[in-house]
């Protein structure tokens, strides 16, 4: 029972097993979190993100017992977590949602410094930290884009 629950959470309730673009498909549950928590005060959002990050470290680190690689593609809790980080304090519009999602996926794949290097951290820390860093970059770039667009 415990193994099934951990694998369900680690793989985005099975979306991470998608044979094509598992990280992209597996990140979609993150939007449920974005829409749910976007209406809460920013301190609550930060508390939630910290909780989700630490839970993700534990879940992904535990799930590694059943995989034979360092960062298995079916494990998408890191991608799920990265979506709310990307949209932290971002007004949700069709433009920002589309742009933010593209930025999130491109930067997660590209892994700009120090995201790539952070993958060397132990177990779940490496799995979660590279997505945290890439999502922070996505958020900052998205804030910059919004700032530059004339109102």
Residue 68: pLDDT band by 50, 70, 90 thresholds?
Answer: confident
Residue 143: pLDDT band by 50, 70, 90 thresholds?
Answer: very high
Q: Which domain holds residue 104?
A: 2-148
Residue pLDDT, tens place only, 95-129 = 999 999 999 999 999 999 999 998 899 999 999 99
pTM of structure = 0.94
Q: What is the pLDDT of residue 38?
A: 87
* Distance, CA of 54 to CA of 52 (rounded, Å): 6
User: Angle between the 94-110 and 77-86 helix axes, to the nearest 10 degrees?
Assistant: 130
Q: Is 1 a residue whose pLDDT tops 90?
A: no
> Considering its fold, how many domains does the chain have in total?
1
Q: Are residues 97 and 32 in contact, defined by beta-carbon separation less than 8 angstroms? A: no
Residue 60: pLDDT band by 50, 70, 90 thresholds?
Answer: very high
Listed in order, strand segments (DSSP E) in the chain are none
């Amino acid at each position: 029972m415990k193994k099934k629950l951990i694998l369900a959470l680690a793989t985005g309730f099975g979306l991470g097993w998608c044979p094509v673009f598992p990280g992209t498909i597996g990140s979609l549950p993150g939007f449920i979190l974005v829409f749910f928590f976007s209406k809460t005060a920013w301190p609550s959002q930060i508390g939630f993100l910290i909780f989700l990050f630490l839970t993700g470290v534990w879940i992904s680190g535990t799930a590694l017992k059943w995989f034979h690689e360092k960062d298995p593609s079916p494990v998408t809790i890191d991608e799920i977590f990265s979506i709310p980080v990307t949209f932290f304090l971002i007004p949700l519009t069709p433009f920002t949602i589309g742009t933010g999602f593209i930025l999130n996926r491109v930067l997660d794949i590209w892994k700009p410094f120090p995201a790539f290097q952070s993958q060397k951290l132990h177990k779940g820390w490496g799995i979660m930290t590279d997505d945290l860093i890439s999502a922070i970059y996505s958020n900052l770039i998205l804030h910059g884009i919004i700032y530059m667009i004339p109102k």
